[in-house]
């Protein structure tokens, strides 16, 4: 939660110096930041251990999961509950309500869209972690990928990604699709230009989250089938 509070304060200080950034004001940028934070932290409530999956694989602990007659992903996801993320989830939800109240006039339709897009953001965050984690079955190492992901996320999650160069926007949209966690849903809800996705941002967010989950889950199962055990 400390990172979230710091991010909120930093954005306030930043927008005192620059009231708008490419047409985004303080409350709109704060909406992006809190949307990102909520979806990201909520996806890790039951799945924080995915960032340590290479440890489970190298030490043979994942082998025990594979011999049980249950879905391996479900078993792994329920190993432990990440109580540390609960504070961040609650804080980001409060900030999301606060910033949303000031950034837009809401109706039943827009509230429904927001709920759907929050679910999509959680799915995208979960799927990114799932895809990276699956590489452990092929390489026995995914820690470096998770560290790289974390560095990139912390440096871009608080801002509209269209402030970056087109190359970075393409990277955050199609290679490491962090933009679909918070930025694109926020742009669609607030009727802001998303540059790359245009006016179809809302349906694209929904479709992309479903496709990404399917791709990540298929890759997870493929990687497990290619896994020959920690002792081989």
Q: Kindly list the domain boundaries of the chain, sorted by start residue.
A: 44-83+105-226
Cα angle 65, 66, 72; round to 5:
70
| Helix pair angle (143-156, 108-134), 10° resolution | 150
Of 80, 102, 79, 96, the closest CA to residue 40 belongs to: 96
pLDDT at 4: 65
Cα angle 173, 160, 11; round to 5:
140
If you compute the radius of gyration of the chain from its CA atoms, what whole number of angstroms results? 18
Q: Which stretches of the chain score pLDDT less than 70?
A: 1-4, 194-195, 229-232
Q: What is the pLDDT of residues 25-68, one digit of tens each?
A: 999 999 999 999 999 999 988 888 888 888 888 888 888 888 88
Q: What is the pLDDT of residues 109-130, one digit of tens each?
A: 999 999 999 999 999 999 999 9
Separation CA 35–CA 122 (nearest Å): 10
pLDDT at 92: 95
pLDDT at 195: 67
Q: Length of the chain, please?
A: 232
pLDDT at 70: 87
pLDDT at 85: 84
pLDDT at 107: 95
pLDDT at 23: 87
């Amino acid at each position: 939660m400390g990172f979230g509070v710091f991010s909120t304060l930093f954005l306030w200080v930043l927008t005192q110096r620059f009231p708008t950034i490419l047409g985004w004001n303080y409350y709109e940028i704060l909406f992006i930041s809190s949307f990102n934070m909520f979806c990201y932290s909520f996806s890790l409530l039951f799945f924080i251990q995915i960032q340590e999956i290479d440890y489970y694989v190298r030490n043979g602990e994942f082998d025990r999961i594979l011999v049980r007659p249950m879905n391996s992903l479900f078993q792994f996801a329920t190993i432990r509950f990440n109580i540390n993320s609960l504070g961040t989830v609650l804080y980001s939800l409060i900030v999301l309500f606060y910033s949303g109240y000031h950034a837009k006039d809401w109706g039943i339709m827009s509230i429904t869209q927001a709920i759907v897009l929050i679910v999509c953001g959680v799915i995208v965050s979960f799927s990114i972690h799932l895809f990276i984690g699956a590489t452990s079955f092929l390489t026995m190492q995914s820690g470096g990928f998770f560290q790289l992901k974390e560095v990139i996320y912390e440096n871009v999650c608080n801002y509209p990604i269209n402030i970056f160069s087109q190359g970075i926007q393409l990277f955050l949209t199609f290679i490491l699709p962090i933009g679909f966690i918070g930025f694109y849903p926020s742009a669609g809800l607030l009727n802001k230009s998303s540059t790359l996705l245009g006016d179809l941002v809302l349906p694209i967010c929904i479709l992309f989250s479903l496709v990404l989950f399917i791709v990540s889950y298929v890759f997870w199962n493929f990687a497990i089938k290619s896994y020959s055990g920690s002792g081989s």
